[in-house]
Structure 1
């Protein structure tokens, strides 16, 4: 009978030989975290993941069950997932001796072999290891009977994986209860001499100790982890954008260039001296920002639909697929303004920045937009668009401005044709978003003026 670590080693080696991704859905870790994780699993080590918030630690832990066999036999009706050939609890051993080949067998899916516990200060030893069950005592068993024990999460993960999220949040006296599990692979419950030879892979996540004042991992427990793996935020911009696209639930279309703005915004926040970097800037910030931008676009489309306005399709008339697409909402750079007031609370600022929070965020968002314009539209001659503005054309945008109205305010549509082609804009909403990005880039480069109403309504480029 294979141990859990041997089973995972076999399946991991098969995946590596076949060229399959053993941890699907994880982006940005291919050349850094995943090789370290694979080496730790091949060595059969217990693992602790260290990293700031929002770096995908929990997501990484939840991919580990994919390395277990899809189905495994267990003793039917047993409290723990014991193998029929190797019962470990007194009750299962007694049943195996009495029933012999008639011992019932059930099949357990790998998803049921992964247990996860969020460490909280009120977690008890009984939650993790076990305690005497008063119901079983009331049924007539004596306190000295080992069958009176109600097992905690760690024994219930027998022949599986036990994950503890935010391990330092466990009180130190509770962490002590895990020492025997990690070294001798058994448990001790109260005064019982019961010793269970557990077969379990213990994995945990934690913030780096220097970055948290909530608690620490006690030294003897830290010493028992075979591998300590540091996670990180996406190193490449493309990975950051891919994470946002993969994880966000968007209620409207958000063009790729706006996702890039948000990705650059998060990366600039992680470099800013105004932000408390010990707290980190979670990937959840970028995801929530994308969802907020999509919601702003959906709100605008709903308002315009209610007032009877429809979007402009490729033929310049209402109706058609483009109109329906635009009514569902396509985000534009003007929707980025919704991000700062909604998500400011997700960031921790340095102590000297009181009262300047909005100014810091607005500055970094403008930088992210300018960087995106340079990256996306670099090499395009925007002189004709500037000339059109200089000749008196005003382009209006805002929460109550439809794509048709924005595009209709262009005196010469050919001036923005290279921008639309470069950004691959097809629908009216996408074209309007592309034009607005170019105009915002020109404003940030101080080549055109921008007037925003005091009431936060319409914005005029002119």
Structure 2
């Protein structure tokens, strides 16, 4: 929740209030230490980095270093950088109307220095929220020096100012982020000549534009992300720039299933109820892909893969509930196939696997389903259901259970044999925290699929329908 800014409007009032100017790195350091001592978690929504990345990042901030995060796609690098905003003061005073958002006590541009000398304590003050002190740039090959540093503004020259006048300069992203944080995503994609333009900013803290040498006492923190494959093999970050980053921190994917599920639950925008065990299946599926020899691990398997999968099966559940007039939209194991249909393009396979991509995805998904079922349903004796599906023990003819993308939960439950003759289904529902008809139907589907994967029952699939028997 954002509070209201202070009602101070002049530099004189600011001095009278006792306000003390802090350099950016001191501000980040002191706010971080205060949060670590007794404040709120400074890294909300970051999962799996508690004992690895976060301590390294905290040490780098305390040291006042510029930082580059190295990691494959979808490891939360950008989210981690954006969380740095929370370490800034909520409101910070700036010279009202100043182009670079300078502090009233320390103007740096010629225009602000002149105004400060003329107005003194009457220099007007405005307040900038912490969210305005973070700038983000995706590095692309067409990024120019003007974008990052600045260039001569022809309109100001046309107004009658001379080319030697520093006020003819239009400042780029980095100077405009004075007293803030500049994040550059995919830094290796910057052309080398553009990387050179950052050298003075990161070391001498000044800028050079078309022959101008302005000793602007810039106060910025440069943070960046890079793919380690680009970084180490292609050598696309020039050595002098690499040397100016005080900290290089390797990120990684969530180390545990629970943390992977937490990321999915946090990031996915779900339009229907998705039970926790289905998110676990997607998390295990993603981890299996990351460990598969058939997948190009240099490209990585992004967390967005599982997030998109969760959103897809939720959409499938809502689609079914709408068409079949179900009272609730609940995702079930049968919806996992819809995720495989659309997610294959997010994976890069090894060269020798052409034509086998679908089979590899289906195999690794079945493995994930089996692992999840084993984790939640182990110890449950399903003999009574297996016997009913086989027609054993002199009972009625072998039963079958049909499910599918458009089969309502009520039909799945109605088709289950021995439903009222055993507590099997109640035990399964209890293990999977399933209460509503949609949730119970999904739990029983997982049981049936696990029995099929254990080769205790058969399964046939065609036209979006699956029959167990």
Q: TM-score range by the shorter chain?
A: over 0.9
Among 426, 429, 432, the alignment partner of 2:441 is 432
Q: How many residues align?
A: 440
User: How many angstroms apart in 2 are the aligned matches of 1:90 and 1:209?
Assistant: 43
1:294-309 correspondence to structure 2 within 5 Å: 294-305=314-325
**Residue 414 of structure 2 is aligned to residue 408 of structure 1:** yes
Equivalent residue, structure 2, for 1:317: none
Q: Which residue of 2 aligns with 1:143?
A: 163
> For residues 351 and 82 of structure 2, what CA distance do their matches in structure 1 show?
36
Change (3 A) 1:166 1:185: same
Query: Can you list the C-alpha shifts for 1:389-431, whole angstroms capped at 9, x where unaligned?
Result: 1221211101221111100112222332211111111000000
Using the alignment, how far apart are the partners of 1:20 and 1:83 within structure 2? 27
Conserved? CA contact 1:209–1:216, under 8 Å = no
Q: Is 2:466 aligned against 1:459?
A: yes
CA deviation string 1:206-256 (max 9, x = no partner)? 000457877611110000000000000000000001100110011111111
Q: Paired residue for 2:249?
A: 229
The answer for the alignment partner of 1:111 in structure 2 is 131
How far apart, CA to CA, are the structure 2 residues paired with 1:142 and 1:201? Answer: 32
Contact kept in structure 2, 1:385 and 1:416, CA below 8 Å: no
Which aligned pairs between 1:272-421 and structure 2 lie closer than 5 A?
A: 272-305=292-325, 310=326, 324=327, 326=328, 329-391=329-391, 392-413=398-419, 414=422, 415-421=424-430
Give CA deviations for 1:132-172 in whole Å, capped at 9, x if unaligned: 00111111101000010000010011111111110001000
Counterpart contact for 2:188–2:230, Cα < 8 Å: no
Could you tell me how far apart the structure 2 residues matched to 1:221 and 1:76 are? 34
Which residue is 1:244 aligned to? 264
Q: Deviations over 1:163-184 (max 9, x none)?
A: 1110001000000000011111
Matched residue, 2:14: none
What does residue 449 of structure 1 align with?
Answer: 458
Name the CA distance, whole Å, in 2 between partners of 1:243 and 1:279.
Answer: 20
Distance 1:434 1:409 in 2: 14
Work out whether residues 385 and 417 of structure 2, in 8 Å CA contact, stay in contact via their aligned partners in 1: no
State the partner residue of 2:194. 174
Q: Give the deviation of 1:193 after TM superposition.
A: 2.6
Counterpart-to-counterpart distance in 2, 1:17 and 1:256: 34
1:180–1:98 Cα change, 3 Å:
same
- Please say if residues 314 and 330 of structure 2, whose CA atoms lie closer than 8 Å, have aligned partners that are also in contact: yes
C-alpha separation in 1, matches of 2:112 and 2:71: 41
8 Å CA contact 2:70–2:248 kept in 1: the answer is yes
Aligned: 1:183 with 2:203: yes
Native 8 Å contact 2:187 2:226 kept in 1: yes
TM-score with structure 1 setting the length:
0.93
CA contact (8 A) 1:166 1:206 kept: yes
Q: d(CA) in 2 for partners of 1:460 and 1:92?
A: 76
Distance in 2 separating the partners of 1:196 and 1:458: 68
Structure 2 unmatched runs, 5+: 1-20, 392-397
Q: Secondary structure at the match of 2:213?
A: coil
Q: CA deviation at 1:81?
A: 1.1
The equivalent residue for 2:70 is: 50
Structure 2 distance, partners of 1:59, 1:352, is 35
Aligned pairs (5 A) from 1:143-162: 143-162=163-182
State how far apart, in whole Å, the 2-side matches of 1:393 and 1:158 are: 72
Using the TM superposition, give the Cα deviation of residue 19 of structure 1 relative to its aligned residue in structure 2, in angstroms: 5.0
After superposition, residues 52-131 of structure 1 pair within 5 angstroms as 52-131=72-151
Q: How does 1:12-31 map to 2 (within 5 A)?
A: 12-18=32-38, 20-31=40-51
Q: In structure 2, what is the Cα distance between the partners aligned to 1:120 and 1:127?
A: 11
In the TM superposition, what is the alpha-carbon distance from 1:116 to its structure 2 partner? 0.7
Matched-pair contact (CA < 8 Å) for 1:185–1:199 = yes
Q: Secondary structure at the match of 2:207?
A: coil
Aligned partners of 1:275, 1:426: CA distance in 2, in Å?
A: 38
Normalised to the residue count of structure 2, the TM-score between the two structures is: 0.92
Match of 1:263 in 2: 283
1:337 deviation in Å? Answer: 0.6
